[in-house]
Structure 1
Amino acid sequence: MALADTGKAIGAVTRLLRDRLHVHPGVTVNDVTVGKPEPPPNVTNPRLNLFLYEIQLDASLRNKSLDEGQPAPLWLVLKYLLTAFDEQGESDTIQAHEFLGEGMRALQELAFLPLSGSLTTLNALKDNPEVLKITFDEASADLLSKLMQGSEEKYRCSVAFQIRPVMIATSEPSSYSLLVGIDYLANEVIGEKGIQISVFPFGGPTLSAIAPPKFTPGDTITLRGSDLNLANLSVRLGTIELPITGQSSDTLQCLINGTISGGNVISAGSHPVSVIQTLPNGRKRASNLLVGNLLPLLTSVVPNNLARVNPGDPASKIYGNIDLTGELLGTDEDDVFVALYQNGSVVKLFDELATLTPQTHRRVPIKQENPIPAGKYRVILRVNGQQAKNSPEVDLVVP
């Protein structure tokens, strides 16, 4: 799973800093090292040294989660010292001070740290939703004295800076659960007749509510508001125009039609809904916006090429694929999560899916290095934060 690579994020940031400083055209030193600001013996090359002296939790992002129902990752602030050494390994000479200034200028130009380098570095940092920001800190004499105290350590003038926010995603399974108001045995929606939505009339074409607030391709939705019986009205979901099937002064009924279900023009997720009135002069007047939640439609889940890690052992864990079919199952650019649910909790979470047919046929790979126990699971699908109503059961067994 891609988020598992974020456990290497701290080392990846240090490697990225070292590599970017080393190739920066304004830095003339021969080497950039990592470690305590002390020169190794018999070193004759001028160099810059990076020392990670403190790691803090970013308090402003402490409870920020990547997806609703998923545990919040660790958001870190990494604090570094940058020290320069001349050819004799000294840090308090004119030449060392020149190198230190070059390093500061390079860091200032890299204020927003771009991702590059090895595959290990990219995998550890590419899922970080925030841009890595370099900020200079005060490097007081007290701070440097504390970091360099000791009988064999020398006080060295250095520059302090920090990088934030660095994400380390937790490996703890998410707390997704089955939807309330769904009879999964009969595959029916229940309980929504008891939902009451108050309607407050306003002057002009105005929307106040959508029923139901979550819908799938083929559903009919009802928009409530005022002045909805005017001529030349149309309804938009995002940039898509919906056909109107019923109209009165305070309601409009619209069909989530087949154009949407193809997935070529829109993906599942939360989209703005508005009523557009075409005026006699050809101009268009839009109502206020409401949010409509377009759900993916998961129709079937089928195991594919399952195998045991230890063939012949009936208790061995299994690996292979699960093929999903339906509508609006997401594209490679969408935020898609699939969870295997068993005995009241999520057993395994996947965030990397293969696309067989865009939006209608996707594959969940269960890798051999991360197998799961055999058994029956409910498959929970979320696309762009919206969870499919249907969670079919799949029996993952190997004959």
Structure 2
Amino acid sequence: MKYRQIVWGECPSDWENAKLGELVQKENRAYTPESGSIPTVCSISNTKGFTKSEEQFDKQVYSDELEGYSVVKKGEFGYNPSRINVGSIAQLKHQNEVLISPMYEVFSVDESRLSPAYFSHLINSPQMLSLFDAYSEGSVRQTLNFSNFSEIPVVLPPLSTQNEIVSVLDPINQSLSNIRKQRELTSQLKSNLFNAFISGELTGSETETRRLGPVERTVPQDWPTYKLGEISNVKRGASPRPIGEYMGDAVHWVKISDMSGTKYVENTKERLISEGKEESVFVESGTVILSISATVAEPAILGIDGCIHDGIVSFQNVIDDVLPEFLYYSLDGMKERLASKGQRAAGNQSNINSSIVKNSELVVPPVSEQKQIIQLLNKIDSWRSKETDKQQLWSDLYESVASDLLSGQVRKHARRV
């Protein structure tokens, strides 16, 4: 079999070179009150696809007036023009009809040429994510309008080959999905245990009802409540400007992406030159930190010395009555409460300020009780870490196999042998 050079590189000669505009059709259905019952309002996540908006943002962020929202029917696709380059594009698979913000683009595919199941894998491939980024435009925030989306080139195998590829990738993707669900259940178990501990259910203490922020909670009577600003010096990070002039290899540069899904930050993707330390906020190993921008209210403990980004606050000089690990688990338990106070900035990015963090309250049990819950939660974290490693292995496997299959590399190599 001969191979020809196209945008994606070499591919089998029976694969055609096409543009997305030849394979998809934009859908323009606006919801009206006369449409009948109100469907579920969704957002499109880069990890979960179509997700109920309240689950995605922990509160209602859409207007009560839904007229003009876009209607998406089962089998159709949608994407967020401002976040498609990080994977916020998905097919509606499990509901008959939902509403999404009119800022999203909605489209269907020509099933005589393109399998929806195949396209679901294709849109998450590294090649497509790079193309989404390349075809996006904007000076402040890059967006991909439908006109540019339609110009993106793809390589399209015959339908029979598409179905063969789906039969290989679907089982791997399902295994990956099962692991993610298990991690979510483990996280929920951890949250339930911490809440039961703070409410006194696990200690048998005399309790009382106490207001913590916007909610009332049952807590042991003899456990005091403090504001975070009372038990520590809450200090926001700083980013040297212009950042490009301070990049180097001398000092760890802790960003929100380094904190994702981990209790301890043991390394960073980027570092600063020595002079960058003077223009940022240097924090020592063992300090608890919290994200306040983009992915808000994610806590971590530094396992290294380093400078922190301006989207992070640190808790320094914590009083002796609060152990660092207990502070970490308390912040993890306060995640939804803190995130609900976030303000959405341009591009739908959420932020909370230092004042909100300082005035947020936590219940402080005796140190001996803190050690007990830390020991229990550490065991759950250890199990969750194993699940994370397993998820990464399956994710790497999927990306490797998908990259070869979706570009025709596996067939090409097999033919050459």
TM range (shorter): under 0.3
Normalized per residue, which structure has more helix? 2
Higher relative contact order, structure no. (Cα contacts within 8 Å, ≥ 6 residues apart): 2
- Structure ranking higher in strand proportion: 1
Q: TM-score, normalised by structure 1?
A: 0.21
Point out the structure with max Rg over C-alpha.
Answer: 1
TM-score, scaled to structure 2: 0.21
